[in-house]
Chains A and B, each alone.
Chain A
Amino acid sequence: MDRLSLLVWVPVITMIVISFFKDPKKVRLIAAAGMAVQLVQIILLMLAFFAERQAGNDAEMLFFKDIAWYSNLNIHYTVGIDGISLSLILLTGIVIFTGVFASWEITDRAQEFFITLILLATGVFGFFISLDLFTMFLFYELAVIPMYLLIGIWGSGPKEYSAMKLTLMLMGASALLLVGLLGIYFNSAPDGGPLTFNYIEISKIHLPEAVQYFFFPLTFVGFGVLAALYPFHTWSPDGHASAPTAVSMLHAGVLMKLGGYGALRIAVMLMPQAAHEMAWIFIILATIGAVYGALGAIAQKDLKYINAYSSVSHLGLILFATLIFNQVAFEGAVLQMISHGLITALFFALIGMIYSRTHTRNIYEMGGIMKVMPVLGTAYMVAGFASLGLPGFSAFVAEMTIFVGSFQNSALFVRVATILVISSIVITAVYILRAAAIMLYGPLRKQEFELLPDARWYDKVAVFILIGAIAGMGMFPNWLAEMIYTDFTPMFNRFIAN
């Protein structure tokens, strides 16, 4: 078996093993062990990847493997990774591993919960390793659909409504996406010859422009909905608010990145002309998303809503960066995906932990939490600082890369949009500090909070791993940035050439 398929198989085996156990305690241990193996495996994969690159293997995709599984339509199981997908795989590995710890206290149908959760992660891993649009779409759906169950069964609040809304909107987007992908497929051989789903192959050819104009918006919006493209973002606040902790983490941390990744890799890279021509529409939408999401977050009371709107804002930044069309901005988009994934996962983990203690997410009902839960409070502040782009944390690196990248585009329109987008980081500071001030600081608002416990060991595992990753990326960004930048080169050259 090849290395990359292992990324799919380890979760699958974990799920199978879990299905033999009913006891929540055993189940979560197995899940944690499985995901630990997965994480270790990813780190080994990374080392192997670096070794290959060091050895001068400059193929675009490493660990390439190609198996035809439905030859009539030329559908292949094609896998391979470059620095971009590898870094997102690492992100997924970290988030799912910490997600298991964040759901340590789940006892209600724990077996089914962890199976569904890991199924979701499997879909994500599969998505990132796939080079074949069809397989990719398959894994994409595999990742999106368990969300319905996870929110609908283990959620809180108006969970059925939220689950339904989320699923319907994402499915609607999938429908657009499927049309887009099939459109690409059926035009993948304009000069005759066999059609192909392999996007590396497709990116080497020039899709007819009429085709691009038609399918680019479909594909971009299809992926964009998952990345909370304004105005298709409203599933996100409700969905996140109702979802259980680990699901919010995984969803905001990783799943929304599928949208960004797809928008960048498929929509923009395969259809450059249309992307160029239509960029202005989506730049406007992404800019609105970035500013509007941040402003919307100011007015929220519920921690999860704050964070959901913040995600809209940060994802707006990602989508914005994918439409600037230079290598630095593209690199920034990927960095922001990773950074936002980690930070938002940390946020949701902390919110879940705080909620499980105070049983409220309304910031006005809390106050002075820092005194009773110094570890969680401090971690929340760290997450907040990371999110508002403090140097030393990952978001700074990502945002600066995006800003520097987009400033290289000197069109006045892009300039203005960039400045608006940059201004969103000030608003970010406002809502982060506002929430922290109300919730963490000041005198203790409710006496019964006096006795609440601080973080337990499994909470600490989740929190510290995430903080470590965020700070690590923030302090030593260059290896990651270089890897992504370098691996963008072949893609970018084709993009320019097209």
Chain B
Amino acid sequence: MIEGIEVFDVLVVSTAMFFIGIYGFMVRKNLITILMSVELILNAVNINFVIFNKYLYPDMLQGYIFSLFVTGIAAAEAAVAIAIILNVYRHMKGIDVEQVDTMKY
């Protein structure tokens, strides 16, 4: 519990972070930077979990544990994503997201 800080205040931060991540996802061309944006998004969500757990349901550990899970998933996702990125780099000689469009129609 932080004195003087309400749920809303924290949510402002996390929401902002989330949308910054979204913005990055939509704008950045480099696959790695996109991956970073995704990390931002996940992190923002984590913060939400934690804050809800702390402020609203302190007797249960759901938020806590789920943020743990999310962290785990983020790790897995990062590992696979980077493997893919490296693979893409080898195939396409670049990691520009606009190059990677073989999955169209």
Q: Is chain B in direct contact with chain A in the complex (CB below 8 A)? A: no
